[in-house]
Chains A and B, each alone.
Chain A
Amino acid sequence: MRGALLIFKKELMEFSRDRRTMFFTLVMPLILYTAIFSIMAKLGRRNDEELKNHPSRVALVDPDKILTPLLTAPGSKFEIVAPPQGDLSKAILAQKLELQVVVEPNAAIRRGRQEPVTLTVTRDPSERASVLAYDRLEELLKASDARIVAERLASLHAPAALVEPTKVVAVNAGDQGRAVTKVLGAFLPYLVMMMMLQGATQHGVYTTAGEKERGTLLGLLSTALPRRQIIWGKLLYIFTMGVISALVNILSVAISYAFWAQPAAKSGNTSALANPLVLLLVFVLMVPLGLLFSNLILLVGVWSKNSAEAGTGLSPLVFIVLILGVFMMSPGVDKMSLLPYLPVVNVSLAIRKLFSQQSNTFEYLLAMTMTFGIAAYLTWTSTRLLNREEALFRA
């Protein structure tokens, strides 16, 4: 083990001599994410405020003036604009207005006959302002309809409960905090996996294929150090850099979240996130996952002739993890029975369940054992590969 620790020391020394890499690994994420999150949060809030304070522009076609009084009443959050010339959809897409409402002809007569009046509303569901305008209109019409119904019932001397056969009382079992935890539980494993992989990849390529490319590996292999100890030392370094990278990135996201998240999102019970046992179990699970990634990087790095080849070889791995991460964030995916048996995915699943307080001991242990097993097999393969001369002198 002494040899492995010496190799680890050598790798750390090399890292510590490169101030730029140190800065980009340890400091840059803290500055970058905090800055990006704060700018995004500020822009988001400003946009929300603007939307809330700004009246929705509606092109209204209302020959019988059924809707006009409602939209132009004092305190109304609507502004009546002239119907656009030409294509209406294009005008909405161009954000010249948010909605167009067309009230059917003879609406006053229909209303008098107590028949429903049809309103044709054109909106753009992809535009927040248009969606907000539609919600405002719905709310306004709901209140107006309620008044009309109440007047009609009163004229018939019927009780108001006549039109409300069922009354639903919704009681929240969880709170908003739990919902936030669940979202973070789906998002965090993905973030951790990506950060760990991304951080470990750069350092892994530098210390394996890079060392071959720079002609320094030959010197290392000509010493009395056993190959397996060289592999273990490099593995330990890649793993450490992956963990450090993930921790720095998570810390950065956490700082940004603490400072810039909406107060509503931070309120409530986020006990799973603050539960030391959950955090410990998550961290313990990250160990085999980190080892698995480190081993894959090591294997590709040892096999590759140079950094470019290693980088190309590792691209599919990054892509696979990216796809798996996105897949694991999909709602309802945790109900699939096959997932606990799939490597990497089962770690993500276990973390997700830990955060959503639905942890399953069997699945947790299975994820850990399976990942450790694969990582150990890959270490063995890398050692064998480094023992082969093709790893050094491949043409």
Chain B
Amino acid sequence: MIQVNDVCKHFELRDKKTRQKKRIDAVRGVSFRVSPGEIYGLLGPNGAGKSTTMRMMAGLMRPDSGSISICGISVSENPEQARKKIGYLSTDLNVYARFTPREYLRLFGEFQGLDNRLAEKRAFHLLERLQLSDFADVRMAGFSTGQKQKVGIVRALLHDPEVVIFDEPTTGLDVLTAKTVLDLLHVMKADGRTVIISSHVMPMVEEVCDRVGIIFDGRLHGDASPREVLDQWNVRTLDEVFFSLAATEEVA
């Protein structure tokens, strides 16, 4: 289970012209809860605060205020224990190009405390599922973005995490592979895992997510099922929710 309580995060960027620091409030009092067996979609345009929120959940960033707990473990107080429960994937994350997927995944299995054989077995199973097993012993230097993304997905799921945090999981994937990833998310949901994803691809979100939270300008607008959100905003697609939010922001 993921519990996010009134989390805030700001950054300070220096203005090159005025040499003064500019405060950017990336996340402003975001709260939500995702239960086991649920897929939660965190949606929003670029710079809305999705990735920052997910990084805070993965223990890669510290919130200024508020708290996050993963399966009852406070991420701020016990980040290592919390990370054991998390499978994290981000578009910023790359693979070791000099390794083959087998070597890379075996190593990451060991980092997560897995036995060598078990890590390899799980890795191979997941690679097969993502149609990458034929490339298990090929160096990743020549891999496409999609192939690297698949290896990244396997790495995130290797230690059988209770909580899965995927930031843009279908980026760089073709339609067929994206479908495979979505199927995988459904399997994880059926296994009782807590899944949180972020995406720009709204049809995918509408298809897989049980609930969605729309982040805009650091604030969470709505936390309901995709259908309820559409009804609430009186629109037909989730994209239109963004347009409405942007229009509201401009008026304000």
Instruction: Give residues in A with beta carbon < 8 Å to B.
Output: 3, 6, 9-10, 13-14, 17-18, 214-216, 218-226, 389, 392-393, 395
Instruction: Tell me whether A10 and B93 are in contact (CB under 8 A).
Output: no
State whether A222 and B88 are in contact (beta carbons under 8 Å apart), knowing that A6-B111, A10-B107, A17-B99 are contacts in the complex.
Answer: yes
Complexed CA–CA distance, A395 and B108 (Å): 28
**Interchain CB contact under 8 A, A214 and B94:** yes
Tally inter-chain residue pairs, CB-CB below 8 A.
Answer: 72
Residue pair B107, A215 in contact (C-beta under 8 Å):
no
Partner of B108, one of A17, A219, A221, A389: A219
Cβ of A221: which chain B residues have Cβ within 8 Å of it? Answer: 60
Q: Beta-carbon contacts of B57-101 to A below 8 Å, as 1s and 0s? A: 011111000000000000000001101101010101111111100
Determine whether the beta carbon of B152 is less than 8 Å from that of A219: yes
Q: State the CA gap A13–B100 with chains docked (Å).
A: 11
Given that A10-B107, A17-B98, A224-B84 are contacting pairs, would A219 and B60 also be in contact in the complex, using a CB cutoff of 8 Å? no
Could you tell me the distance between the alpha carbons of A3 and B80 in the complex, rounded to whole angstroms?
Answer: 12
The 7 closest A-B pairs by CB, nearest first: A215-B94, A17-B98, A224-B84, A222-B88, A223-B111, A389-B61, A224-B83
Q: Is the pair A222, B60 in contact by a Cβ cutoff of 8 Å?
A: yes
Q: Do A6 and B110 touch (CB < 8 A)? A: yes
| Assembly CA distance A216 to B155 (angstroms) | 12
- Cβ A18 vs Cβ B98 within 8 A: yes
Pair A224/B113 contact, Cβ less than 8 Å? yes
Residue among B93, B103, B155 having the largest count of chain A Cβ atoms under 10 Å: B93
Q: Does B11 contact A (CB under 8 A)?
A: yes
Known: A226-B80, A395-B11. A218 touches B60 (CB 8 A): yes
Q: Is the CB of B60 within 8 A of A14?
A: no
Which A residues touch B81, using CB under 8 A?
Answer: 224
CB of B133 within 8 Å of the partner chain: no
- Return B121 CB to nearest CB of chain A, in Å: 19
Docked CA distance A17–B107 (Å): 15
Chain A residues whose CB sits within 8 angstroms of the CB of B225 once the complex forms? none
B13 lies within 8 A of chain A by Cβ = yes
Identity of the chain B residue whose Cβ is nearest the Cβ of A392 in the assembled complex: B60
Q: Does B112 have its Cβ within 8 Å of any Cβ on chain A?
A: yes
Nearest-Cβ distance from residue B47 to partner chain A, whole angstroms: 13
Contact between chains at B95 and A219 (CB < 8 Å): yes
Question: What are 29 sample pairs from A and B whose C-beta atoms fall under 8 A apart?
Answer: A6-B107, A6-B110, A10-B96, A13-B98, A14-B96, A17-B98, A214-B94, A216-B93, A216-B94, A216-B95, A216-B96, A218-B93, A218-B94, A219-B108, A219-B155, A222-B58, A222-B88, A223-B83, A223-B108, A223-B111, A224-B80, A224-B84, A224-B111, A224-B113, A225-B111, A389-B55, A389-B60, A389-B61, A389-B62
- Other contacts beyond A13-B107, A17-B99, A222-B83: 16, CB < 8 A: A14-B96, A14-B99, A17-B139, A215-B94, A216-B93, A216-B96, A218-B92, A218-B94, A219-B94, A219-B95, A219-B108, A222-B59, A224-B83, A224-B84, A226-B80, A389-B60
Known: A6-B110, A224-B80. A215 touches B92 (CB 8 A): yes
A212 to nearest B CB, angstroms? Answer: 10
Give the shortest distance, in Å, between A14 (CB) and chain B (any CB): 5
Residues on the B chain within 8 Å of A220, using CB: 111
Q: Which residue of B lies closest to A16 (CB)?
A: B98
A375 to B60: give the CA distance in the assembly, Å: 26
Residue of B whose beta carbon sits closest to that of A3: B111
Which residues of A sit under 8 angstroms from B107, Cβ to Cβ? 6, 9-10, 13
Within the complex, the shortest CB–CB distance from B53 to chain A, in Å, comes to: 14
Q: When the two chains form their complex, are residues B61 and A222 in contact, meaning their CB atoms are under 8 A apart? A: no
Shortest CB-to-CB span from A223 to chain B, Å, is 4
Which A residues are CB-close (under 8 A) to B92?
A: 215, 218
A224 touches B93 (CB 8 A): no
CA of A18 to CA of B99 in the docked complex: distance in angstroms? 10
- CA of A153 to CA of B78, assembled, Å: 100
Nearest CB to that of A14 among chain B residues? B98
A218 to B107, CA, bound (A): 15
Given A14-B98, A395-B13, A215-B112 contact (CB < 8 Å): no
0 or 1 for each of B185-201: is its CB under 8 Å from A? (1 = yes): 00000000000000000
B87 smallest CB distance to A (angstroms): 9
From A14, A17, A214, A222, B86 is in contact (CB under 8 Å) with A222
**A395 vs B13: C-alpha distance when bound (angstroms):** 7
Which residue of chain B has its CB nearest to the CB of A221?
B60
Q: Which residues of B contact A17 (CB under 8 A)?
A: 98-99, 139
Complex Cα–Cα for A6 and B109 (A): 11
Q: How far does the alpha carbon of A13 sit from the alpha carbon of B110 in the complex, in Å?
A: 14
Within the complex, the shortest CB–CB distance from B111 to chain A, in Å, comes to: 4
Tell me the bound Cα distance from A6 to B84 in angstroms. 17
Q: Which residue of B lies closest to A15 (CB)?
A: B98
Q: Nearest-CB distance from B112 to chain A (Å)?
A: 6
- What chain A residues lie within 8 Å of B96 (beta carbons)? 10, 14, 216
Asked if A224 meets B112 with Cβ closer than 8 Å, knowing A389-B61, A393-B61, the reply is: yes
Residue of A nearest to B14 (CB): A395
| Closest residue on chain B to residue A214 by CB atoms | B94
Q: Which residues 25-58 in B have Cβ within 8 Å of A in the complex?
A: 55, 58
State the CA gap A395–B24 with chains docked (Å): 12
User: Do B93 and A215 touch across chains, with their CB atoms under 8 A apart?
Assistant: yes
User: Given the complex of chains A and B, what is the CA–CA distance between A70 and B96 in angstroms?
Assistant: 78
Question: When A13-B99, A13-B103, A395-B11 are in contact, do A223 and B94 touch as well, CB less than 8 Å?
Answer: no
Residues from chain A with a CB closer than 8 A to the CB of B55 are: 389, 393
Q: CA–CA, A214 to B99, complex, Å?
A: 14
**A223 and B112: CB pair below 8 A?**
yes
Please, which residue of chain A has its CB at the minimum distance from the CB of B83?
A224
How many Å lie between the Cα of A3 and that of B112 in the bound state? 9
Q: Which A residues are in CB contact (< 8 Å) with B95? A: 216, 219
Name the CB-closest residue of A to B61.
Answer: A389
